[in-house]
Chains A and B, each alone.
Chain A
């Protein structure tokens, strides 16, 4: 198993450190050729407008669409979840480039500005009964999911914050900023 972390922008190091603690030696993916040795990829938190633009300029879109969910398991956290979504709401003026791979609709900045960023323990049944620390930073929200998408976690008001479609995983929060490695371990089994 070779795990890559997309290293165009964002909290790359936090994912890498968590994977190392689990005993995995991840690869930083900065150019499409770095994908050749990778069979799992994490798209970190960051700014979706920036990462999306760099994904397009450096020709990541076609190789990722060809492999994601098949021989490449993929997980997007926050900005990463935005980039996986087939449909986006709240994009920048004129729209923004995205991978459009997972059958979910995601709204950017769903809770407001940084002052509305929050922490809340989450129930995520696939990880067991212990609540998962949820860190939401200028977070997006999954507004709707397609028929083959499984909802993994919701906020108390019902809003979807984690979803899975086969070997594609999206979380609108940041497990990599917590000491809890269960989502990382879950992804490594995907």
Chain B
């Protein structure tokens, strides 16, 4: 029997497809998320919108909180470690959590190196803004990808930008002659073997979710129609007026993303969405998507 193989790491992400992963900060929120149809929960102390508002250094959550959330639900539980903070990752792995998000939402611990994720038995999800970044994370051992978007804004524009960038880069690779892939790899700053693999397959070798700014059922369906495999919703649910109803609506819109009549129906009377932030009003040094390289 071989445990935690690459197939099972990538495989769990494949099982999450077509689903919604929700940020939760308490046991009670975790139960609401599970009840509403979350495919997994992200256990956190503060949602990105609060991290953004309160400032300071954002770190891994209290292991007690993470474990309490793990004990409260039967669906997979994820937790965030800082970029490059391999000891936070070791701690989360020791808690027996299901997935680690090496996340730009937390303050980076290393401004040059991400975690060497091959050294872990727990699988990792990482953010990306373009194909080069996606492939660098895969080279480091990430088993799942997501757009970075701009977390805690309730503004989907960056997630759209990042996903379109990845897809555009893949289409460009597909149109290239085999002789051109070496320079393409150089320009993408990504390993040649992965570039060659993506050019041949026409898609990433792992699941790619949308994250960062998704706040409404229509946002979720927009990302799904663009071609993501599933959706992370951070602040969008529990920073809104009616979390249970909104969570259910986003789940329905993610399943029925090509059915505008259903999206319309579930979007009715959801109450207040989270307050959004325009990206150009955020000081450059406070942009989370720029963290990581």
Which residues of A are in contact with B by a Cβ distance under 8 Å? 7-14, 30, 45-47, 49-50, 53-54, 57, 78-79, 90-94, 108-109, 112-120, 135-138, 174, 177
Q: Which 3 A/B pairs are nearest by Cβ-Cβ distance?
A: A114-B98, A117-B8, A9-B18
Report how far A149 CA is from B75 CA in the complex, Å: 28
B255 contacts A113, C-beta separation under 8 Å: no
Minimum CB–CB distance from A177 to chain B (whole Å) comes to 5
Minimum CB–CB distance from B27 to chain A (whole Å) comes to 11
B39 contacts A46, C-beta separation under 8 Å: yes
A137 contacts B15, C-beta separation under 8 Å: yes
Main secondary structure of the interface of A (DSSP, over half): loop
> Which residues of B have CB within 8 Å of A120?
1-2
CB within 8 Å of A: which B57-109 residues:
70, 72-76, 93, 96-99
Q: Which of the residues B19, B31, B98, B251 comes within 8 Å of A138, measured between beta carbons?
A: B98
* A111 closest partner in B (C-beta): B3
CB within 8 Å of A: which B94-146 residues:
96-99, 121-123
Report how far A136 CA is from B5 CA in the complex, Å: 10
Residue B243 at the chain A interface, CB threshold 8 Å: no
Report how far A14 CA is from B17 CA in the complex, Å: 11
* A13 closest partner in B (C-beta): B17
> Which residues of A have CB within 8 Å of B255?
8-9, 30, 54
B12 contacts A46, C-beta separation under 8 Å: no
B76 contacts A138, C-beta separation under 8 Å: yes
Residue B4 at the chain A interface, CB threshold 8 Å: yes
With A114-B12, A138-B12 as known contacts, state yes or no: A53 contacts B37, CB within 8 Å: yes
Report how far A62 CA is from B293 CA in the complex, Å: 51
Report how far A114 CA is from B18 CA in the complex, Å: 19
> Which residues of B have CB within 8 Å of A116?
3
Q: Which of the residues B11, B31, B35, B96 comes within 8 Å of A113, measured between beta carbons?
A: B96
Residue B38 at the chain A interface, CB threshold 8 Å: yes
> Which residues of A have CB within 8 Å of B2?
118-120
A135 contacts B256, C-beta separation under 8 Å: no
Return 21 A-B CB contacts under 8 Å, by A number: A9-B17, A9-B18, A11-B14, A46-B39, A47-B15, A47-B16, A47-B19, A53-B251, A54-B252, A54-B255, A93-B31, A113-B97, A114-B98, A115-B3, A115-B93, A115-B98, A117-B4, A135-B7, A136-B8, A138-B15, A138-B98
B11 contacts A118, C-beta separation under 8 Å: no
* B95 closest partner in A (C-beta): A113
A10 contacts B5, C-beta separation under 8 Å: no
Minimum CB–CB distance from A133 to chain B (whole Å) comes to 9
CB within 8 Å of A: which B13-50 residues:
14-19, 31, 34-35, 37-40
* B7 closest partner in A (C-beta): A135
> Which residues of A have CB within 8 Å of B256?
30
Q: Which of the residues B15, B72, B93 comes within 8 Å of A10, measured between beta carbons?
A: B15
Residue in B15, B74, B123 whose Cβ sees the most chain A Cβ within 10 Å? B15
> Which residues of A have CB within 8 Å of B4?
114-115, 117-118
> Which residues of A have CB within 8 Å of B11?
11, 117, 135, 137, 174, 177
Q: Which of the residues A11, A91, A112, A136 comes within 8 Å of B17, measured between beta carbons?
A: A11
Report how far A75 CA is from B155 CA in the complex, Å: 41
> Which residues of A have CB within 8 Å of B99?
114
Q: What 5 new A-B contacts, CB under 8 Å, besides A93-B73, A177-B14?
A: A114-B4, A114-B123, A115-B3, A118-B1, A119-B7
Q: Which of the residues B3, B34, B96 comes within 8 Å of A92, measured between beta carbons?
A: B34
B5 contacts A7, C-beta separation under 8 Å: no
Residue in A30, A93, A114 whose Cβ sees the most chain B Cβ within 10 Å? A114
Report how far A86 CA is from B2 CA in the complex, Å: 31
Q: Which of the residues A46, A90, A93 comes within 8 Å of B18, measured between beta carbons?
A: A46
With A50-B251, A92-B73 as known contacts, state yes or no: A118 contacts B5, CB within 8 Å: yes
Minimum CB–CB distance from A46 to chain B (whole Å) comes to 5
Report how far A108 CA is from B19 CA in the complex, Å: 19
* A77 closest partner in B (C-beta): B15
Report how far A114 CA is from B77 CA in the complex, Å: 9
A92 contacts B18, C-beta separation under 8 Å: no
